[in-house]
A and B are shown apart, each in its own frame.
Chain A
Amino acid sequence: MTALQKKDHNPVEHLTRSDIESLGEELDALRAQIIESRGAADAAYIRRTIDVQRKLEMGARGVLLFSKYKPAFWLGTAGLTVSKILENMEIGHNVMHGQWDWLRDPKIHSTTWEWDNASPSDLWKHSHNELHHTYTNVLGRDNDLGYGIMRVDEDQRWMPFYLGQPLWNALNACFFEYGIAAYDLELGKYMKGRKDKAVFKRDLDKVGVKVRNQVTRDYVIHPLLAAPFGSWGSTLAANALSNLGRNIWTHSVIMCGHFPEGVETFTKTSIEGETRGDWYLRQMIGSANISGSKAMHIATGNLSYQIEHHLFPDLPSNRYAEISVTVRDICARYGLQYLSGPLPKQVGSAWMKVIRLSLPNHIAAKVKFPSRRKPVAPTALPSRITAMEQSERAA
Chain B
Amino acid sequence: MELLSGDRPMDDGRETVAPSLWRSRAIGFLRAATTPLLPEDYVDLFDPLRTTTVLRARVTDIISETDDAATVVLQPGRTWRGHVPGQYIRIGVDIDGVRMWRAYSVTSGPRTDGRIAITIKAISGGAVSTHLLSSLQVGQIVQMEQADGAFVLPEVLPAKILLLTGGSGITPVMGILRHAVQDLDDVVMLHSAPRPEDVIFADELRSLGDDGRISLLERHTDEHGLLDTDELDALVPDWRERETWACGPAGMLEMLEGHWESAGHAHRLHTERFRPALAEPGEGGTVYFTNADREIDCDGARPILDIGEEAGVLMPSGCRMGICYGCVLPMREGAVRDLRTGEVTTATPGDGILIQTCISAAAGRCDLVL
Give the B-binding residues of A (Cβ under 8 A).
28, 32, 35, 38-43, 51, 54-55, 58, 97-98, 101-105, 107, 109-111, 114-116, 125-126, 129-130, 133-134, 210, 213-214, 216-217, 220-222, 225, 279, 313-314
Q: Is the CB of A114 within 8 A of B36?
A: yes
Q: CA–CA, A114 to B98, complex, Å?
A: 22
- Whether B353 is near chain A, meaning CB under 8 Å from some CB there, is yes
Asked whether B354 is an interface residue with its Cβ less than 8 Å from the other chain, the reply is yes
State whether A217 touches B324 (Cβ < 8 A): no
Nearest Cβ in chain B — how far from A264, in angstroms?
A: 20
With A54-B37, A104-B98 known, 13 other A-B pairs at CB within 8 A are: A54-B42, A98-B325, A101-B354, A102-B97, A102-B98, A109-B354, A111-B354, A126-B326, A133-B323, A216-B32, A217-B33, A221-B33, A279-B321
Q: CA A217 – CA B97 in complex, angstroms?
A: 34
Q: How many residues on chain B are close to A (CB under 8 Å)?
A: 30
Q: Is the CB of A101 within 8 A of B35?
A: no
Interface residues of B (CB under 8 A from A): 29, 32-37, 41-42, 45, 54, 94, 96-100, 318-319, 321-326, 328, 340-341, 353-354
Which of chain A's residues have a CB closer than 8 A to the CB of B324? 98, 125, 129-130, 133-134, 313
Q: Is A129 in contact with B318, judged by CB distance below 8 angstroms?
A: yes
Q: How far is B339's CA from A28's CA once the two chains are assembled, in angstroms?
A: 13
**Could you say which residues of chain B place their CB within 8 Å of the CB of A216?**
32, 35
The 9 closest A-B pairs by CB, nearest first: A43-B97, A98-B325, A129-B324, A114-B36, A104-B99, A130-B324, A134-B319, A130-B318, A39-B96
Q: How many contacts between A and B, using CB within 8 angstroms?
A: 99
Is there an interface contact between B35 and A213, defined as CB atoms closer than 8 Å? yes
Q: Of A54, A98, A313, which is within 8 A of B41 by CB? A: A54
For residue B45, which residues in chain A have a CB less than 8 angstroms away from its CB?
A: 51, 54-55, 58
Residues of A within 8 A of B319 (CB): 129-130, 133-134
Least distance between A196 CB and chain B CB atoms (Å): 17
Instruction: Please pick, from B37, B97, B323, B328, the residue contacting A39 in the complex, using a CB distance under 8 A.
Output: B97
Whose C-beta in chain A lies nearest to the C-beta of B95?
A40
Contacts of A222 in B (CB 8 A): 33
> Which listed residue (B33, B54, B94, B328) contacts A103, Cβ 8 A?
B94
Chain A residues in 8 Å Cβ range of B321: 134, 279
* B44 shortest CB reach to chain A, Å: 9
Q: List 26 A-B contacts (CB under 8 A).
A: A40-B94, A40-B96, A43-B94, A54-B45, A55-B45, A101-B325, A102-B98, A103-B94, A104-B99, A104-B354, A105-B94, A107-B54, A110-B328, A111-B325, A111-B328, A115-B36, A125-B324, A129-B325, A133-B323, A133-B324, A213-B35, A217-B34, A220-B32, A221-B29, A221-B32, A222-B33
Once bound together, how far apart are the Cα atoms of A225 and B32, in whole Å? 12
